[in-house]
Chains A and B, each alone.
Chain A
């Protein structure tokens, strides 16, 4: 109990102190932030009372002076007047090259390649998708900090289940730029299930049909006793409500006999906005007798077209059919018949379209679940998970067993892919495969890491290349090179290659070639307008202190729970290290605090291992008692 004396007066060191943890739904068309307050997840509103933040950022001409950029509704309003500098749907660019962005020509702003990364050319210079996303994330972060009048501890950010490694990494980079500690990236449909599962307490197999603005996901989950297990996920990362707008706009143009490529960017933006309005209005009219007038003023003519629900359904039928093909495939992957699905959860604003509800309902032979707001449900689930990860909720409430959405492999002879981690493997996971040399005296082996389901490297996504050097010269086929893929709980990959005879080793954390290096992130952080007001050094010190506090609190609760595993002298050693860290944290520099944190971490390594072993033995022992 000597420890209590070193805490500063008035400063709580209670390890169960409440931490501000939020869930963020970083969406294609809009984003939300939610948190658990008074035991209930709720979306946090902006000052004007609205919870939705349009995922739109407008960059202003620096020559005109001014604030630099507009975010959210302000930017959305300016979209028609200034489409070239107003960036919406930036999520489609995350972790992509220009060539990989579907329908890049249809965007109202200019996308160019920069070092193999799709970036946007604006009046304020080139902006990476991560920078644009960071503006949105920082806005939500400030909203949360204002709501709680406290620093943010961390956030769970949702991504489409179908996002590959590069897209997830890009999302994490964006969060880092916004100064957010990412507790976990989780899949959007999983977050929706968390929101529904906990509220309704239901068990069984569920399908989550998530049609957002720009992405479609379908996931099959099994819920048992508070454990969410993702059985399979699939979908299409470039299909969403935007495509329904485009299809409707294209149909209207066709009816009017106007060629789509004759339109200016401003006209396209007008048309798109009208298509969206028309689509939303159609959801509210009578399916048989209702109709909506599509009206748009173009530069040299005005368009007027009556649209009935049946016409809308027909001109978008190919899109709805694409979602159902993905639904059938994911059911096959999960090994589940559609009659085994107990409930279908609808997520994403686009599931408000009656044609979607009807088609999904007919396929599964049941009414889909729609009682939570489809726009908010993902953020609400993420908030519940964030609350649990931050240690605010009761233990044993919730566990998420997630899977990796796309297979990971490496290139072998002839441009073929050798799959190492098959898709839908539960994460975290590590898989190893042995390879050998194919030439006498070969001393290096080049490894090319790819992601995707196709057999040819050319058809898969290239993630990284690295080389294992220093293999002792041997006859062809004599070397044994073990390549291990490790995927962490965020679904991010690291690869290790080791020659078994000589022990030569090489490893890489897969940062896609177009991802950001740490230096780039540091530079951007300094440039970033959202964080420019903050003094970087002060920030580093605050972060080091938070880490130190976290480490001390964690060690203290470990000692309280399992201190008996240590001998008296071992315990004293740990306590001395904690006291030393506390002293440094009170007055030392960021570097000193980090060093002392590291020392405490090293000093408790063996203790952590012993605790984990004990936990496992107790877990199974407890279970066996229950079985008897």
Chain B
């Protein structure tokens, strides 16, 4: 294991979408306990720099693995089917229609109740999509198809953030 190992190798986890979150958290803390700069605050400059690099690397891997969307995108990349969200925006027509509908609803929503309802609907859609993602990744192992699903989920997550942003505005 070294700084170039991939995220799964670093945490000694098998490269799959399904993931034991408790185990991931546990290993993150074990690794940080070893490398965090605070553990080496009284050491020499070389060790401190090493500690900083490792600590950064482990946090990077952790935040990528713990987020289902980033984890899926990373699996695509490892398996030669990068997501390339900025160059590839082709989506099924039905999906785009639904996105437009959601956007319109968000524009028109005025009350916190309406927004909460939308947030619930988006959360439910996201859950269904994550289930599909897991089948594509771990059962079918079709990474090109997985990349398409990841792109779709990115739209949904962005929308979920916008709904949350509106809720924040109302709360203030």
Instruction: Name A residues whose Cβ lies closer than 8 Å to a Cβ of B.
Output: 19, 183-184, 224-225, 227, 229, 325, 328-329, 332, 388-391, 396, 399-401, 425-431, 486, 488-489, 550-551, 554-555, 558, 600-601, 604-605, 607-609, 611-613, 615-620, 622-624
Q: Are B41 and A183 in contact (CB under 8 A)?
A: yes
Main secondary structure of the interface of A (DSSP, over half): helix
Q: Decide if B29 touches A224 in the complex (CB within 8 Å).
A: yes
- Can you list 8 residue pairs at the A/B interface with Cβ under 8 Å? A325-B171, A389-B38, A426-B63, A428-B37, A428-B56, A608-B44, A619-B34, A624-B12
B46 to A604, Cβ gap below 8 A? yes
Is A620 in contact with B47, judged by CB distance below 8 angstroms? Answer: no
Other than the given A389-B41, A399-B29, A601-B46, 7 more pairs (CB < 8 A) read A328-B171, A391-B41, A429-B56, A489-B36, A605-B46, A608-B46, A616-B35
Q: Given the complex, which residues of A lie within 8 Å of B36, measured CB to CB?
A: 399, 401, 489
Which among B1, B55, B62 has the greatest number of chain A C-beta atoms within 10 A?
Answer: B55
Q: A184-B41, A554-B43, A604-B46 are in contact. Are A428 and B55 (CB under 8 A)?
A: yes
Instruction: Point out the residues of chain A lying under 8 angstroms from B32, CB to CB.
Output: 227, 399, 401
Count, A-B residue pairs, CB within 8 A: 121
Interface check B54, CB cutoff 8 A: yes
Chain B residues with CB under 8 A of A551: 44-45
Cβ of B19 to closest chain A Cβ, rounded Å? 16
> Are B30's CB and A619's CB within 8 A?
yes
Q: Contacts A426-B62, A554-B43 given: A612-B51 contact, CB under 8 Å? A: yes
Please name all residues of chain A whose beta carbon is closer than 8 Å to the beta carbon of B54 when the two chains form the complex: 612, 616
CB distance from A603 to the nearest CB of B (A): 9
* A329–B34 touching, CB < 8 Å: no
Q: Shortest distance in angstroms between B169's beta carbon and chain A's nearest beta carbon?
A: 12
Nearest B-chain residue to A328, judged by Cβ: B171
Question: Which single member of B1, B38, B47, B56 contacts A554 (CB below 8 Å)?
Answer: B47
- B22-33 interface code vs A (CB 8 A; 1 in, 0 out): 000011011111
Q: Which residues of A contact B172 (CB under 8 A)?
A: 325
Q: Nearest residue in B to A386 (C-beta to C-beta)? A: B41
B84 interface residue (CB < 8 Å to A): no
Q: Does B2 contact A (CB under 8 A)?
A: yes
Q: Which of B12, B31, B44, B52 contacts A555 (CB 8 A)?
A: B44
CB of B97 closer than 8 Å to a CB of A: no
Given A227-B33, A388-B38, A612 and B47 contact (CB-CB distance below 8 Å): yes
Complex: how many Å from CA A272 to CA B102?
53
Contacts A329-B168, A616-B1 given; does A608 touch B33 at CB 8 Å: no
Number of interface residues of B (CB under 8 A): 38
Residues of chain B within 8 A of A611, CB atoms compared: 47, 50
Q: How far is the CB of B22 from chain A (nearest CB, A)?
A: 11
Question: How distant is A557 from chain B, measured CB to nearest CB, in Å?
Answer: 9
Q: Which residues of A contact B62 (CB under 8 A)?
A: 426
Of all A-B residue pairs in the complex, the 7 with the closest CB atoms, nearest first, are A608-B46, A391-B42, A389-B41, A619-B34, A489-B37, A554-B44, A612-B50
Q: Which of A396, A488, A622 touches B52 (beta carbons < 8 Å)? A: A488
Q: Is B39 an interface residue (CB 8 A)?
A: yes
Q: Complex Cα distance A613/B32, Å?
A: 13
Task: Flag if A184 contacts B46 (CB, 8 Å).
Answer: no
Contacts of B33 in A (CB 8 A): 227, 396, 399, 619
Query: Complex: how many Å from CA A396 to CA B49?
Result: 20
CB distance from A387 to the nearest CB of B (A): 11
Q: Are A619 and B47 in contact (CB under 8 A)?
A: no
Query: Roughly how many angstroms separate A616 CA and B37 CA in the complex, as a whole number?
Result: 14
B114 contacts A by Cβ under 8 Å:
no
Q: Across the interface, which residues of B come within 8 angstroms of A325, CB to CB?
A: 171-172
Our pick among B43, B50, B60 for the contact of A429 (Cβ within 8 Å) is B60
Whether B6 is near chain A, meaning CB under 8 Å from some CB there, is no
Q: Cβ of B79 < 8 Å from any Cβ of A?
A: no
> A385 — nearest CB in chain B belongs to which residue?
B38
Q: Is the CB of A428 within 8 A of B59?
A: yes
CB proximity of B163 to chain A, nearest CB, Å = 13
Given A489-B52, A619-B34, the answer on whether A430 and B60 have CB atoms closer than 8 Å is yes
Instruction: Give chain B residues whose Cβ lies under 8 Å from the Cβ of A227.
Output: 29, 32-33
A554 to B1, CA, bound (A): 25
Task: Specify which of A425, A558, A600 is in contact with B63 (CB 8 Å cutoff).
Answer: A425
Greatest chain A CB density within 10 A among B1, B27, B47, B164 is at B47
- Which residues from B are CB-within-8-Å of A229? 29
- Separation of A488 and B36 alpha carbons in the complex (Å): 11
Residues A488 and B171 in contact, CB atoms below 8 Å apart = no
Q: Which residue of A lies closest to B30 (CB)?
A: A623
Distance of A607 Cα from B12 Cα, bound (Å): 24
Q: What residues of A have a CB within 8 angstroms of the CB of B50 in the complex? A: 608-609, 611-612
Q: Which residues of chain B have C-beta atoms less than 8 A from A617's C-beta?
A: 1
* Cα(A531)–Cα(B119), bound, Å: 59
Q: Which of A389, A426, A555, A608 contacts B42 (CB 8 A)?
A: A389
- B51: chain A residues at CB < 8 Å are 612
- Scoring A227, A558, A612 by chain B CB atoms within 10 A of each residue's CB, the highest score goes to A612
- Give, as a whole number of angstroms, the nearest-CB distance from B161 to chain A: 11
Complex CA distance for A617 and B172, rounded to whole angstroms: 48
Q: Is the CB of B60 within 8 A of A601?
A: no
List chain B residues, Cβ under 8 A from A390. 41-42
CA distance A615 to B172 in the complex (A): 48
> Once the chains are docked, how many angstroms separate the CA of A618 from the CA of B12?
13
| Residues of chain B with a CB closer than 8 A to A184's CB | 38, 41
Tell me the complex Cα distance, A388–B32, Å.
Answer: 16
Query: A399 contacts which chain B residues (CB < 8 A)?
Result: 29, 32-33, 36, 38-39
